[in-house]
Amino acid sequence: MSATQTVSELFARLGSRVKEATDAHLKDEIKTGFVELPSFPSGVAKLSRVEFYADGGVLKFRAVGTMDAPMYADGGVPLKGLETAQFATVSETDTDGGISQVLDVLRKLVGQDTLDVLVRSYTHPVTGVDYEKVVAAVSGANAKRPIYFRCSNKFEENRSGRIDSKTGKPYPGRVWQRWGVAVPDYTPVGAPPVAVKPSVNGVNGVHLPAPTIPSSASPAKPDPAPWESRAKPAVPQPTVHIPETFPLTGADEPDWDQLAVLAESDAESCKTLYDAANALGYTEDDCGDATSMAIIAGWVKSGVKKGGGDVVDTVTGKPAPKQGNTVKFYPMDSTNTRRLKRGVMCEITGISADIRTMSLKCLTDSRTWDAVAWDDPSVEYAKK
């Protein structure tokens, strides 16, 4: 194989293998990757570039991001501005695996729905997906509106005992880089506040006219401040813990909502939140894959261990309905105008915690009801 082949020529050479690999891995779950960076539990990076390139006759892919938060890793090591990257090799011997990794990265950056649209838009019935155009579309979207995504970097021991064939000894531990999903509406650290629009007249969005100054009047100009009194630009300091910013509630417990805000850019706050989630059984991967620190704070506030106990209603703070339990339900009559006075016993067959609804199945006939609100007055729960 010639080392001078272009990306397009390499894709053409791989032919139907790329199409088959795309079909097999388009909806795979998100995976992880590796890159050398200082260790940090969770952060946010900005996508710098995503591209295919030819390397010695081999088709390769990379996505590169620049760390935005936190500014410092443990010990005050500067982190902001460092690069994080994900790589994949699309070879003739493992086209399937390479395309799987490519789709995994794109899925994190743009989401499954957008990825589906891009793949459909640039798929030829014979030659398969034109990945160069897919990547160009992602790059174009990033140029118009920067894509920020979650990531983490943590040292992990070689618990599986993998052996290095060259030395005959177990591989040492590694710092594994993980990319999470994109964070919508993320505000970069240090970004200036959004400018306030001019006042309006109250209706129809009419802007108030600027005040006029009579020609005879001359507004006084303030004296320029001496150089010594002018504000100096702030110099970032490697402070990773600001205890006075942790409001307490009652029994010396942090305000988890406030802590979640601080954790977006403060390493110590992030560690405190992660430790609390770890105590409930949530792993570092669970925390790293969460789309916001507020979600992790919600786990902690609920006090419910992962995979055990009842789901907690985040609105009322009480245990939510549990799938498999029995309730009495008063459905509407055949005209759908009034509730029946006699309730029917139903089994809860499904729970949607994000929208606080459930599905019910009558225990005496085949009737079912979907999207019944947890707090619907027509539902009677068993008294405890």
Confidence (pLDDT) at 242: 33
pTM exceeds 0.85 for this model: no
- Does residue 274 sit in the same domain as residue 340? no
Bridge partners of residue 181, in order along the sequence: none
In a domain, 200, yes or no: no
- Does residue 260 sit in the same domain as residue 361? no
> Are residues 127 and 15 in contact, defined by beta-carbon separation less than 8 angstroms?
yes
Q: What is the DSSP string of 354-369?
A: TTTEEEEEESSSS-EE
- Does residue 287 sit in the same domain as residue 347? no
In a domain, 197, yes or no: no
Please report which confidence band the pLDDT of residue 193 belongs to, taking 50, 70 and 90 as the band edges.
low
Structure tokens at 159: 């618990």
Question: What distance in Å separates the CA atoms of residue 274 and residue 266, rounded to the nearest whole number?
Answer: 12
- Does residue 274 sit in the same domain as residue 125? no
Q: What is the DSSP string of 93-147?
A: SSHHHHHHHHHHHHHHHH-HHHHHHHHHHTEETTTEE-HHHHHHHHHHHHHHS--
- Does residue 79 sit in the same domain as residue 129? yes
Strands in the chain per DSSP E:
40-55, 58-69, 83-90, 123-124, 128-129, 148-156, 174-182, 248-249, 253-254, 326-329, 344-352, 357-362, 368-373, 379-381
Write out the residue range of the structural domain in which residue 136 sits. 7-182
- Does residue 22 sit in the same domain as residue 117? yes
In a domain, 214, yes or no: no
- Sorted by sequence, the CB contacts under 8 Å of residue 81 that are 6+ apart come out as 66, 67
The count of other CB atoms within 10 Å of the CB of residue 89 is 16
HSE-CB at 319 with a 13 A cutoff on CA atoms is 13
Characterize the bridge pairing of strands 344-352 and 326-329.
antiparallel
Q: Which of 158, 182, 206 is the last residue of a domain?
A: 182
- Does residue 275 sit in the same domain as residue 342? no
Q: Which of 164, 182, 200 is the last residue of a domain?
A: 182
pLDDT digits (tens, 9 = 90+) for 227-251: 334 444 444 444 433 333 333 333 3
- Does residue 58 sit in the same domain as residue 122? yes
In a domain, 332, yes or no: yes
In a domain, 191, yes or no: no
- Does residue 289 sit in the same domain as residue 367? no
Of 124-138, 159-173, 245-259, 319-333, least confident by mean pLDDT is 245-259
Total residue count of the chain as it appears in this document: 384
- Does residue 35 sit in the same domain as residue 172? yes
Q: Which of 270, 302, 334 is the last residue of a domain?
A: 302
Report the number of distinct structural domains present in the chain: 3
Of 9-13, 216-220, 235-239, 325-329, least confident by mean pLDDT is 235-239
Structure tokens at 289: 């894959």
The mean of the pLDDT values for the chain is 78
- Does residue 53 sit in the same domain as residue 106? yes
* Torsion 360-365-366-367 (CA) sign: negative
CATH number at residue 372: 2.30.30
> Are residues 47 and 92 in contact, defined by beta-carbon separation less than 8 angstroms?
no
In a domain, 135, yes or no: yes
In a domain, 277, yes or no: yes
Characterize the bridge pairing of strands 253-254 and 248-249.
antiparallel
Q: Is the pLDDT of residue 357 over 90?
A: no
Q: What percent of the chain has pLDDT over 70?
A: 76
Question: What distance in Å separates the CA atoms of residue 28 and residue 96, rounded to the nearest whole number?
Answer: 12
In a domain, 346, yes or no: yes
- Does residue 267 sit in the same domain as residue 362? no
Confidence (pLDDT) at 101: 94
